[in-house]
Structure 1
Amino acid sequence: METFSLEQSGIINAKAIYRNLSSACLTEAALARGEGILSDTGALVVRTGTFTGRSPKDKFIVDTPGVHDEIAWGSVNRPITRAAFKALRSKAVSYLQNRELFVFDGFAGADPVHRKKFRIINELASENLFIHNLLIRPTAAELDQYGEPDFTIIAAPGFHCNPESDGVHSEAAILIDYEAHEILIVGTRYAGEIKKSVFSVMNYLMPKEGVLPMHCSANMDPVTKETAIFFGLSGTGKTTLSADPERLLIGDDEHGWSPDGVFNFEGGCYAKCINLDPEREPEVYDAIKAGTLVENVILDAQTRKPDYTDKTLTENTRAGYPITYIANAEMSGLGGTPSVVIFLTADSFGVLPPISRLSKEAAMYHFVTGFTSKVAGTEQNITEPVPTFSTLFGEPFMPLHPQIYAHMLGERIVAHNTTVYLVNTGWTGGPYGTGSRIALKYTRAMITAALNGSLKESVYVHNDRFNVDIPQTCPNVPEKLLNPRATWADPAAYDAMAAKVAKLFYENFHTKYPRIREDILNAGPRP
């Protein structure tokens, strides 16, 4: 039996090893092993059990001398000793002996100059299908010349930790050893942990190569190649808003901004499915077919037709598919230098304008601050919007100190005269429970105006409280909607809530970033 050098990972007695199987073969294997069932469109549908979203408290970074001074340690980047990592890794590898294993050797990074090789060793065929879809798939020639990976990920969801003896938080653990170039994921079947572990590695490596890694989607004009990037956490509309049928999708979640332009880290998309509608999101809806992995969507027992409104298992229902399933995708994964940057936030307080323009310093402030509301299902135990500040719109995946990434963004905004907008996809007319979510058609119209340049022609009024410039007109958007105070029945109640939110910004920034430059601090909201 060909072992594909798995001995180097300590696996010396596997029952069978399958490397880089096709999506059809992986789907067949998953069905034969009872890992899932088919939907009426041929997609493989699985249930992830206890963990239906990421589990941030179960993620650790191995604290070694080589990385200790680089990592922004804290409540997000938690340390674990090398000894504890080795002990847990040994147990997991022992668990994998005498089992069928599925290996995917692929790439992260569409730009060959900055591309990294990742080997993923999976216990489950379905998870191997997922990462086969999400990373960049090598050609036959590239696979023949693949050599040794830059990083190896071992995913053994059937192995459960003992928190007391293993020194972790629960039965699940996501452990990254940057110095040994290894990642261990155990106790969770939620495939997104694999994807985000790759992202965490790229976010550590890319700044060393002069590349700004970004939790963003990106698209571009098919003719002019004008490129835009969209920052935002899960639930802010990043995937939906970047999937514009009039533009080419470079990627929906993870990118690098190099001196040559933007490039996708991935080769696929991981879209939310809750309330998926063929008219509102036709690209995502049509991508759920044979070869796609679907998590936690409920099927009709007889017809196998998905019920995308059913949140019995979780609101964080997901579909992972190759980017080739998107008709207007830019298959090279490469774009130009961004002319427009959009920060997406879901403001559950209902006080931020639906779109506003930011100065360079304000852009750096909001990049570092990363204000949004975690929406139901994106993490364990989140059942309604929870206001949060997630550094760089992706704090759980950014291991270095935030000012490193922020300064890289500021340099690029100046060098390329890039325009930055803050877009609120959250609430208007009042907070969550009183107001309503801003209509997608209006958000799309505002973003279209930002991308085609027509929004630059608007008259702007500076908002002193939030320190942003608000356009007073936008094609196909009611003028009243542009100024959030005007949408509240009680303007005094708006003012009180706005003051409260501005104070939250101020206190968060002073607490978390006391050493960041004063001009960046002064560009933020004022209590």
Structure 2
Amino acid sequence: MINSLLRSRVHYQLPAEKLVEQTLQRKEGVLSSTGALMINTGRFTGRSPDDKFIVKDRQTESMVHWNRFNNPIQPEYFLKLQKDMLSYLDGKEDIWMRDAFACADNKHRIALRITTETPWSNHFTANMFITPTSLELQTITPEWHVIQAPGFYADPKVHGTKSANFTVVSFTHKTILIGGTGYTGEIKKGVFTVLNYILPLHNNVLPMHCSANVGRAGDTALFFGLSGTGKTTLSSDPERQLIGDDEHGWDDSGTFNFEGGCYAKIINLSAQQEPQIYNAINAGALVENAGCIPGTNQIDYSCKKITENTRVSYPLAFIENAKIPSVSGIPKHIFFLTCDAYGVLPPVSKLSAEQAMYQYINGYTAKVAGTEVGVTEPQITFSACFGAPFLPLHPDFYATMLKEKIEKYKVPVWLINTGWTGGGYGVGNRISLKYTRAIITAVLNGQLNKVIYKRHPVFGMLVPQACPNVPDVLLNPRDTWPEPTAYDRAANKLLQQFTANYLLYRPEEVKVGVY
């Protein structure tokens, strides 16, 4: 397919330093004081989930959960779009191509051929996916093609899209088309969407939007959570090896990373709070949409001039205690992280398998209201399985797989609230990070195995009544509120919102797995 680009000069499998050099020559980036390449992704500084499409054909028609994240597009539009994209790229003087793998476990790995319009997009894929050895490159046969052309704009009337930018996935053609946007995260999440479809259906692998680490005893822990809940922070532990920060699979032999790199937010980054990420931003890292301190090439991590979604990508090997290859055993603990701005959920509670399924389908957190005029209440956010935009199948399918694995391997599941206590946002206080870290440590060390538990009166999960290095009063949120009856009202209101969301996915259930 890509071999038809006869007029273009194809730069194949270039090392990062060469891609950086070409980006600088093309004046598409600058070097920071640390040696990292800094680029601007253009108009789009984040994903556009409403513009993601899946080709609706015989293979997908009855399997895909069609919704605002999985928009259907007809095969003829895909073929037209692919033809026009290739014609566009054929007219470019240079294009960049890379072969790589997704999935660290060789049993499940998928060969990708990624074609990009710019060297810095290719640099991103070199950071984020697994690089084949020189011997593997001699025999590699691509299974999936990813074609990214930020300068190509779709015509909705001709190509069946909603706007000029798009991500289109065809499972029949094993191709991802990305155009009209330079945001590199579309490449990463396009591949994640593919893996979320093929791995559970064909390999009996549970794909997960989570970070993972492992202790010296081989005890693997998974951390699920939406943005702002502490997923990256809490999985970064100098006493444990990092398996990966975002996407993993779980089969009957253990856990494995889908990627070969990390893609971390860097807004307000500091060496004190996130030393591993901070120290990884050097030569070979790719910084997106960040600013510099005026008059210097020193990254200004507080700069929001372009976007708050400033990011960096770098190979997993840039993390000092990374586990490579990033494969580990069956999880020993699972953490669901939520930032509850209503101050209702306990800082730690233990879930049954049924309750875990309930929480997993809901994927709850609360985003604190920003500076928008008139917004005084936190915004509830539900994202099924902590990754709704990337799930081609019905969320119940993934949740059922998770429940089966939890029960089969007897894995304890913990709900961790990194949000508020003593009242909601504006009244109470944010739970201290040192207490949350102490809770995670206590769980991993087995220190919560012999303490007394009480059942939460509204949500039904088990709440420990003691935890080392955490004040007892914090463990029961009702006791931290000035008016316990106000807590009761807030808790029941939140439960109603949980229930309404849960019934969107499991309408046959009236009781939502509380007891």
TM-score (norm 2): 0.95
Q: 1:510 — aligned with what?
A: 503
Deviations 1:409-432 (A, max 9, x none): 112111211100011122233333
Task: Quote how far apart the aligned CAs of 1:383 are.
Answer: 13
Task: Quote how far apart the aligned CAs of 1:375 are.
Answer: 7.2
Q: 1:213 — aligned with what?
A: 207
- 1:471 paired with 2:464, answer yes
Q: 2:514 — aligned with what?
A: 524
- 1:127 paired with 2:126, answer no
Residue 365 of structure 1, aligned match among 355, 358, 365 = 358
Please list, as runs of the form range in 1=range in 2, the aligned pairs for 1:127-166 lying within 5 A after superposition: 127-147=121-141, 149-166=142-159
Task: Quote how far apart the aligned CAs of 1:93 are.
Answer: 1.8
Q: 1:94 — aligned with what?
A: 87
Quick check: 1:44–1:290 contact (8 Å CA) kept in 2? yes
- 1:304 paired with 2:297, answer yes
Task: Quote how far apart the aligned CAs of 1:374 are.
Answer: 5.1
Q: 1:29 — aligned with what?
A: 22
> Unaligned 5+ residue runs, structure 2?
none
Instruction: Give the Cα separation in 2 of the matches to 1:38 and 1:523.
Output: 52
- 1:12 paired with 2:15, answer no
Deviations 1:59-105 (A, max 9, x none): 11110111111111122211111112222222222221232111121
Give the residue type in structure 2 aligned to 1:395: A
Task: Quote how far apart the aligned CAs of 1:162 are.
Answer: 3.1
Task: Quote how far apart the aligned CAs of 1:165 are.
Answer: 4.1
- 1:386 paired with 2:401, answer no
Q: 2:183 — aligned with what?
A: 190
Give the residue type in structure 2 aligned to 1:368: I
Residue 111 of structure 1, aligned match among 97, 101, 105 = 105
Q: 1:200 — aligned with what?
A: 193
Deviations 1:403-452 (A, max 9, x none): 22112111211121110001112223333344343222221111111111
Instruction: Give the Cα separation in 2 of the matches to 1:433 and 1:25.
Output: 50
Instruction: Give the Cα separation in 2 of the matches to 1:375 and 1:58.
Output: 26
Instruction: Give the Cα separation in 2 of the matches to 1:337 and 1:390.
Output: 25
Quick check: 2:77–2:158 contact (8 Å CA) kept in 1? no
Deviations 1:291-320 (A, max 9, x none): 101111111243211111121221111110
Instruction: Give the Cα separation in 1 of the matches to 2:366 and 2:76.
Output: 37
Instruction: Give the Cα separation in 2 of the matches to 1:357 and 1:324.
Output: 34
Instruction: Give the Cα separation in 2 of the matches to 1:120 and 1:425.
Output: 38
Quick check: 2:98–2:115 contact (8 Å CA) kept in 1? yes
Give the residue type in structure 1 aligned to 2:244: G
Secondary structure in structure 2 of the residue aligned to 1:454: coil
Quick check: 1:316–1:376 contact (8 Å CA) kept in 2? no
Please list, as runs of the form range in 1=range in 2, the aligned pairs for 1:56-455 lying within 5 A after superposition: 56-99=49-92, 100-147=94-141, 149-207=142-200, 208-222=202-216, 224-373=217-366, 386-455=379-448
Task: Show structure 1 runs of 4+ deviating over 4 A.
Answer: 374-377, 382-385
Secondary structure in structure 1 of the residue aligned to 2:327: coil
Task: Quote how far apart the aligned CAs of 1:326 are.
Answer: 0.3
Quick check: 2:395–2:505 contact (8 Å CA) kept in 1? no
Deviations 1:20-46 (A, max 9, x none): 111111111111112211111011111
Residue 489 of structure 1, aligned match among 482, 494, 497 = 482
Give the residue type in structure 2 aligned to 1:484: P
> Unaligned 5+ residue runs, structure 1?
none
Give the residue type in structure 2 aligned to 1:230: F
Shifted more, 482-491 versus 387-396: the winner is: 482-491
Secondary structure in structure 1 of the residue aligned to 2:349: strand
Structure-2 change in CA distance of 1:428 and 1:134 (3 Å): same
Secondary structure in structure 2 of the residue aligned to 1:504: helix
Give the residue type in structure 1 aligned to 2:498: F
Deviations 1:122-142 (A, max 9, x none): 111111111111111111111
RMSD of aligned alpha carbons: 2.0
Instruction: Give the Cα separation in 2 of the matches to 1:252 and 1:310.
Output: 24
Secondary structure in structure 2 of the residue aligned to 1:457: coil
Task: Quote how far apart the aligned CAs of 1:12 are.
Answer: 3.3
Deviations 1:241-266 (A, max 9, x none): 11111001111111110111001111
Secondary structure in structure 2 of the residue aligned to 1:94: helix
Structure-2 change in CA distance of 1:400 and 1:342 (3 Å): same
Deviations 1:150-203 (A, max 9, x none): 111101111123334433222210111111100011111111110011111111
Instruction: Give the Cα separation in 2 of the matches to 1:446 and 1:370.
Output: 21
Number of aligned positions between the proteins: 509
Instruction: Give the Cα separation in 1 of the matches to 2:291 and 2:299.
Output: 6
Quick check: 1:256–1:264 contact (8 Å CA) kept in 2? yes
Task: Quote how far apart the aligned CAs of 1:480 are.
Answer: 2.1
Identity score, percent: 49
